[in-house]
Chain A
Amino acid sequence: MLFYLMHTPAGEFKLSPFPELDKLFQESEQTGMPPFRILIPGIPLAYLEPIFARVSARIGTRAGLETEGFILKIIAKEDALQKFDWKWQNLEQQDLEQMRGNENLSLERSAGDDLADSLSGRQLTDDELSVLAAGIGLNADMLWRQAHILVRAGLGEWVPAVRRGSKGWYCERCGESELEEWPGLYGTSFTCPSCRSLGASSSMKVIYRDLRASAGKFRKIRIGRVGVEQFSSLFPGLRLTAAQEQAAREVLEFARSARERESLLWAACGAGKTEVCFPAAEWALAQGQAVLFAAPRQDVVHDVAPRLQQAFPDISIPVLSGASTAKFGSGQLVLATTHQVLRFYRAFDLIFLDELDAFPYRGSRMLQWGINQALRPGGKILFLSATPDSAIRQRLGKAGRIIRLPARHHRRPLPVPQWIKITEARVESALRENLAALRRRGPVIFFVPKISWVKLWTERLKGLFSSWSISGSYSSDPERQEKLIRLRQGGFDLFVATTILERGVTVEGVQVAVMAADHPVFDERTLVQMAGRAGRTRAHPEGEVVFFAARATKAMKTAVDWIHEQNELARSAGLLD
């Protein structure tokens, strides 16, 4: 999308991708004014904006035509822009008539409103607008124009997708400042490598950023007495345990607090932390607030989706992930992967951010940027984690509150991992013995540290246990979804997996083995999460966890300590039988 510098009859200088549209609005407001002038050619906003910034401070001090000349002088000093044939010209009547003759351009409010609604609270690139337009059967140009009408009304803004800031170029969508550089038509050009999976963000592209959600409020959804006490009756089929109720009450308190902005829900693996957030979400919706549940992985999002929909049956909940077709839905209650959150702008009052320490969120500046942009000013974030890192525990330990949920609903302690020492010479005998013992208790998930090991170990274990049904999967496996479904149905004796399965996935009666638990890719959090797959269900509350390793690493010891600590906390709070 190309932008033009306009010189309006009112003497103002402005940037616009559709100057003819701006003229059309102006026409209807005023007549008999000086000509409407534009500077051609149009260029991407990222390159026009800095020029505009340099002249805008001095515009007021000069007469209009003098300013036009001044702008040409500034441009003539830019090496990369000299090659164009710059000139000011009147935006002619025939341009306008061409516009009016275009039957697709409807400026009537009724037609525009539905379109405009689909943009509420979003920030989308021009390419994404095209995809959104195609999805609702429109041509892209029409949606772009609709977006520009919102910008004109002060309800949205255009920003370069990659923009020149005071400290250099950065991506407006994800905040990345380490960009790919390439020589382009307008000088050095930049493409963002970090948020590429959402489609290109570059200095050629522009983002429409909607500002309405940050101003208005949604209608109140459900009025009624809301509190933890009513929770069971509000959500039939879902019963909170004593531990969950206690945590849910605290989460609700946090949501209602005028002072608190951030909090942490530190829960044992499999303790049902998602459900603990429902009363607070209910309360926020009833206040007319917008609520987001976000998790870093698609698996977790698709796992949570049916539970959330069951809890809020009257609300249509868009589920946004790389795998779902509806990527541009919006609403008062949204479930999304953290990547998709990059497409929102100041849209939510309350964000529940699941698995905050999980790859790829942990340490990722990009997704932190995204969450902060998606949050309305004054909004709140609740981080949900089974394994919060020390930085967030310390930060929230001092400034906010940490809500604990140490016990599972079946009131049994978390399984404590057992270390089985292996040496190269006796790997097979150790496996034969211990895996057979695990299998007698239930199906086994066999975690390996590297993708390339999956196939290797699948074959090796098939050799060891020829009568077993054995398979394996990793994150980019094309058959992963089908295999996971079969795994959940108990269709395998043993399943080899990388850490993709470590979080959020529940398999009835599953036992856990971690191969090479001393491998450096396994930190204490990953180990706790893998161990947390075992013993999750009421029918099988006592799974076993085995770490196969040549030595006991610090991470392994810390993981065991953490699990002990959760169990102690739960026991002293009377949450275990």
Chain B
Amino acid sequence: MVKASAIIDISLSFMRSVWYESKEKCVLCGGEDGAVCPACFHEYFQPELARCQACGKLIPKDFTHCRDCREHRGPQALTRVLAWGHYSGHWREFIHRFKYQAQPTLIEKIARPLAEWAEAQLPPPDGLVAVPMHDSRLAERGFNQAEVIASALHWELGIPLLSGLKRVLPTRSQAALTRQERLHNLSGGFEVIEGKEISGRVIWLIDDVTTTGATLEACAQALHLAEVKEIYGLCLAAGKEA
């Protein structure tokens, strides 16, 4: 008697779980229409907007560069920088969960559309280089989010991961600094330790978020010293210029 009711309990809860979980939920808003729902796609990835060629941020359609970069205050050492989405709302929360809440596997949920978009926007590279993280921060977090993104693109597109770029000075966290301080804070923070994998190559330089482009610029300068042929920056998110 007890057993029969227990079995009924289990089958009912199974039925309920199927009922509720059968639809794929949007990884950004939790709504019910696909992995990234149309509303979030429109809100955060804004395909109708252009991207600043120099720093990657979202800008109005008719421009090639944002105001800062038109006045040469952006990165100079990269051929192009591209940010996928606008760093705001649910997209920002997603990146925070991915990065700060120990959920690197979240990248799997968006790897396919990210790869498709990047492939359509940028010329094919010889390899992927992730922006390195300083050892002490890596030790606490256990993973480098830029490496996780690069690794997802590697799996999706079959592009090799290249090593050699290292962070050599511990830099202060960028978040609390002004624009000018950010640019200074990072200069000289990177070095190519072993350059044979990357010299003469076209690479995509991968990071999670870019704001001023200072991190990408510092990496690119170090990569050019190792005679990399061409560098394209690729990030999950950036700011938007109204």
Contact = CB atoms under 8 A, between A and B. Distances in A.
Interface stretch (B12-20, B46-54, B198-206): B12-20
B104 interface: yes
B140 interface: yes
B101 A196 contact: yes
Contact of B139 (A42, A180, A189, A523): A42
B105 A186 contact: no
A199 B101 contact: yes
Contact of A185 (B16, B101, B139): B139
B164 to A, nearest CB: 17
Contacts of B12: 520, 523
A338 interface: no
B2 interface: yes
Given A196-B101, A520-B16, A521-B16, A1 B32 contact: no
B161 to A, nearest CB: 13
B30 A476 contact: yes
Contacts of B9: 389
A182 B105 contact: yes
Given A42-B139, A189-B142, A200 B100 contact: yes
B1 to A, nearest CB: 9
B16 A204 contact: no
Contacts of B100: 200
Contacts of B105: 180-182, 191
A375 to B, nearest CB: 26
A452 interface: yes
A204 B141 contact: yes
Nearest to B101: A200
Contact of A204 (B5, B15, B32, B102): B102
B5 A390 contact: yes
Contacts of B19: 450, 520-521
A392 to B, nearest CB: 12
Contacts of A189: 102, 142-143
Nearest to A362: B13
Interface in A503-538: 520-521, 523
Contacts of B32: 452
Most buried by A among B5, B105, B140: B140
A394 interface: yes
B171 interface: no
Interface residues of B, number: 23
Contacts of A227: none
A191 B102 contact: yes
A186 B142 contact: yes
Contacts of A202: 102, 142
Contacts of B13: 363
Contacts of B142: 44, 184-186, 189, 202-204
A339 B102 CA distance: 20
Contacts of A523: 12
Interface in B22-51: 30, 32
B225 interface: no
A41 interface: yes
Contacts of A41: 139
Nearest to B142: A184
Contacts of A200: 100-103
Contact of A1 (B15, B102, B140, B143): B140
A205 interface: yes
Interface string A464-491: 0000000000001000000000000000
B7 interface: no
Nearest to B16: A521
Nearest to B31: A476
Contact of B140 (A2, A191, A520): A2
Contact of A520 (B15, B30, B101): B15
A390 B9 CA distance: 10
Most buried by A among B12, B138, B139: B139
A96 interface: no
Given A202-B102, A363-B13, A390-B5, A43 B30 contact: no
Interface string B183-210: 0000000000000000000000000000
A211 B225 CA distance: 56
A202 B9 CA distance: 32
Interface in B74-116: 100-105
Contacts of A391: 6
Nearest to A193: B103
A296 B158 CA distance: 47
Nearest to B148: A182
A394 B104 CA distance: 44
Contacts of A450: 19
Nearest to B30: A476
Interface string B132-164: 000000111111000000000000000000000
Given A180-B103, A520-B12, A394 B2 contact: yes
Given A200-B101, A202-B102, A476-B30, A185 B138 contact: yes
A203 B103 CA distance: 12
Contacts of B141: 204
Contacts of A394: 2
Nearest to B135: A41
A189 B139 CA distance: 13
Contacts of A389: 9
A132 to B, nearest CB: 17
Contacts of B138: 185
Contacts of A203: 142
B147 to A, nearest CB: 10
Nearest to A520: B15
Contacts of A186: 142
Most buried by B among A42, A204, A394: A204
A474 to B, nearest CB: 12
A322 to B, nearest CB: 15
29 contacts: A1-B140, A2-B139, A42-B139, A44-B142, A182-B104, A182-B105, A182-B143, A183-B143, A185-B138, A185-B142, A185-B143, A189-B102, A189-B142, A196-B101, A200-B101, A200-B102, A202-B102, A203-B142, A204-B142, A390-B2, A390-B5, A391-B6, A450-B19, A452-B32, A476-B30, A520-B12, A520-B16, A520-B19, A523-B12
Given A202-B102, A204-B142, A450-B19, 12 more contacts: A2-B139, A41-B139, A43-B139, A184-B143, A185-B139, A189-B143, A191-B102, A200-B101, A200-B102, A205-B102, A390-B2, A521-B16
Interface of B: 2, 5-6, 9, 12-13, 15-16, 19, 30, 32, 100-105, 138-143
Nearest 3 interchain pairs by C-beta? A202-B102, A184-B142, A200-B101
